[in-house]
Amino acid sequence: MLDYHLHLWPHGTPASQPTLDELAAYCETAAAAGVGEIALTEHLFRFVQADAALAGFWDDDPEPRLRTSLARYWREHAHADLDAYVEAVLEAKAAGLPVVLGLEVDHYAGRMHKVAALLEGYPFDVLLGSVHWVGAWGFDQLGDPVVDAEWESRSIESVWDAYTDALEELAASRVCDVLAHPDLVKVSGRRPAVPDEWYDRMAEAAASSGMAAELSSAGWRKPAAEAYPAPALLTRFRKAGVPATTASDSHGLGDVASRAHDLRALLADVGYETLTSFRGRKPAQVPV
Ligand SMILES: [Zn+2]
Ligand SMILES: [Zn+2]
């Protein structure tokens, strides 16, 4: 098994330089759960380099409350140094830890070429592509009053449409390797009565871009109360020939390799016999 989606820093806490001991502890916890290789995939928006290239993307949104809210969230997060992060993970790799160097890259509407230019030249093994905001609405920041009010004011169909539009643009940009938490839009627990049309679009976006899709236990820790993606979407990925990774999306040691056993069962249910590992952005199939 793999845990190909791991953070070092909980949201709302300052970044600290990762130590070899800290990364070794991640590997030990993963190994104890039967997970033999992990990817460190800190959010791109935690780094000052992203701030320089992408800050202000929220100004495209016509809603001032959302712009202000996302600008504040961004300012709280964009403080770490990407070069130091890369160096720390490479050091762990060189020390023989079963770690690969990754990043969780968001969808930046109309700006994925800027993201590609920013990341060019870095020795990443794997890049996760995520949709965390629709316009300037960080829809998965549940508990933020501005975010929650927006959930009340929009129809669920319009939210799934906007999310899927963003996911399609992200996939078509081919900047990333893995579609992270592909149906994150269900995070609040609200879903369309019949989500098939959106599932079909998500599966087509992954298949036509050549990206892998992530099976993540993080959804069990949210109101959605199921893994990302839903079994019906995972089945579509399988049928469309989309390769898979597994992940916990832990934001600290506590959830590393969380529910790996349950993810394995979901893979077996839909017939996945291999997972996709990455080295230098090149995929390889490994046994589940
Ligand atoms: Zn994410
Ligand atoms: Zn994440």
Span from the CA of 228 to the centroid of ligand 1 (angstroms): 11
Span from the CA of 250 to the centroid of ligand 2 (angstroms): 7
How many CA atoms are closer than 13 Å to the CA of 235, on its beta-carbon side? 5
Span from the CA of 147 to the centroid of ligand 2 (angstroms): 18
How far is it, in rounded angstroms, from Cα 260 to Cα 32? 11
Note the pLDDT of residue 15.
81
Tokens at 219, concatenated: 């959804």
With the C-alpha atoms ordered 154, 105, 103, 14, is the resulting torsion angle positive or negative?
negative
The answer to whether 100 and 277 have CB atoms below 8 angstroms apart is yes
Q: Which ligand neighbours the alpha carbon of 4 most closely?
A: 2
Span from the CA of 251 to the centroid of ligand 2 (angstroms): 7
**Does residue 287 have a cis bond before it (omega within 30 degrees)?**
no
| b/e burial code for range 99-138 (CB count within 10 A of at least 16 → b) | bbbbbbbbbbbebbeebeebbeeeebbbbbbbbbbbbbbb
Amino acid at site 198: W
pTM of this prediction exceeds 0.85: yes
Residue 210's alpha-carbon distances to 92, 174, 285, in angstroms, are: 29, 8, 14
Closest CA to 233 of 285, 195, 185: 195
130 by DSSP, 3-state: which? strand
Match 């845990």 to its residue by tokens: 3
Closest CA to 131 of 164, 97, 92: 164
Contacts of 73 (CB under 8 A, 6+ apart): 138, 141, 144
150 by DSSP, 3-state: which? helix
Note the pLDDT of residue 1.
96
Q: Which ligand neighbours the alpha carbon of 187 most closely?
A: 1
Q: Which ligand neighbours the alpha carbon of 131 most closely?
A: 1
Span from the CA of 184 to the centroid of ligand 1 (angstroms): 8
Note the pLDDT of residue 11.
80
Note the pLDDT of residue 139.
97
Note the pLDDT of residue 17.
84
What residues does the ion ligand 1 have nearby, CB within 5 Å?
A: 130
Span from the CA of 104 to the centroid of ligand 2 (angstroms): 6
CA 98 to chain centre: 20
Span from the CA of 248 to the centroid of ligand 2 (angstroms): 9
Q: Which ligand neighbours the alpha carbon of 6 most closely?
A: 2
Which residues does residue 137 pair with via DSSP β-bridges, in sequence order? 134
Note the pLDDT of residue 12.
77
pLDDT by position in tens, the chain (length 288) = 999 999 998 887 778 888 999 999 999 999 999 999 999 999 999 999 999 999 999 999 999 999 999 999 999 999 999 999 999 999 999 999 999 999 999 999 999 999 999 999 999 999 999 999 999 999 999 999 999 999 999 999 999 999 999 999 999 999 999 999 999 999 999 999 999 999 999 999 999 999 999 999 999 999 999 999 999 999 999 999 999 999 999 999 999 999 999 999 999 999 999 999 999 999 999 999
Instruction: Tell me whether strands 244-247 and 178-179 are parallel, antiparallel or unpaired.
Output: unpaired
Span from the CA of 103 to the centroid of ligand 2 (angstroms): 9
Span from the CA of 35 to the centroid of ligand 1 (angstroms): 20
Q: Which ligand neighbours the alpha carbon of 133 most closely?
A: 1
